[in-house]
Amino acid sequence: MERTARKRYTKAEVPESVAKLTPADLLEEALTLEPGELTTYNRAHTYSVRNQMLLRSQGVREPVASYEGWRAFNRHVIKGAKGKYIYRPITVKSEEIDENTGEPKKFTKFKPVKGAFAYSDTEGEPLPEIEHPTWSKERALGALAIREVAFEDVSANMQGYSYERNIAISPIARYPMKTTIHELGHVCLLHTTKEAHADYLEHRGIKEFQAESTAYIVMNELNMRDQFDPAESRAYIRNWLRDEKPSDQAISQVFKASDEILRAGMPEGEKEDE
């Protein structure tokens, strides 16, 4: 059974329902979550937001782990159980040649493979109760090397702003934590560097979509629904996008920034990622 669990699957074997999923599909999943829903997956391993969305799209609503991961809980995978797809990084050679080495350049892409089993696919000892780790804003700021500075804007409509690796939150911000994550998103998405300023102004709709989507995902994952209005946040995203369609790359950057912020605020030992 272990050999089956470790088998590599070819692209042809990936079911259409998984293979056809786009970053936009996964983001739509992320923006319609129930409060704290994602934490159910992360018992043996902290899966990336994108992988959690892939699991959710397969109908999984329970803890998941690898074949070996379940053994650590004194559980075993039931014979005949079907593995769930998760994205795994693979190295691919490019047709472009590296001038320094003369070899083809390499890049990383993500491929869906059967790499996880749900709790209902296993038998054995019951799962122990767990206490989810507490995310800390101060810990996140330190890990990300971002400073919170005094808010100096006189506009009553400005909730917060960011520049370089600094964020400033209005003392009268309606949702200070959500605004903090929004501004952290801008920094992690590299919108705040001096070199990126012109691009931000030209594509502000996409940049604000990215920062607010990041804030939505992080706030929801941390079960902070009482500290922001999800419907208002989704309306903010739609307003900035208007009729513009974000690229797959722009959406993938949202998932990456969300993971980065979530990991940064967690205690050491809780920062594994897929």
pLDDT of 179 reads 97
Kindly give the confidence (pLDDT) of every residue in the chain, 274 residues in length, as a single tens digit, with 9 standing for 90 and above. Answer: 333 344 443 444 788 889 889 999 999 888 887 666 666 676 666 788 899 899 989 998 888 999 999 998 999 999 999 999 999 888 888 778 877 787 888 878 888 999 899 999 999 999 887 666 789 999 999 999 999 999 998 776 789 999 999 999 999 999 999 999 999 999 999 999 999 999 999 999 999 999 999 999 999 888 888 899 988 999 999 999 987 889 999 999 999 999 999 999 998 755 444 4
pLDDT of 37 reads 64
pTM of the model: 0.82
pLDDT of 42 reads 67
**pLDDT, averaged across the chain:** 86
Cα(28)–Cα(99) distance, integer angstroms: 41
Helices (DSSP H) in the chain: which residue ranges? 2-5, 16-19, 23-30, 49-57, 67-72, 137-144, 176-188, 197-202, 204-221, 230-241, 248-264
Reduced to 3 states (helix: H, G, I; strand: E, B; else coil), residue 8 is: coil
Element (H, E) at 84: strand 84-97
Which sequence spans correspond to the domains of the chain? 7-124, 137-264
Helices (DSSP H) in 96-167: which residue ranges? 137-144
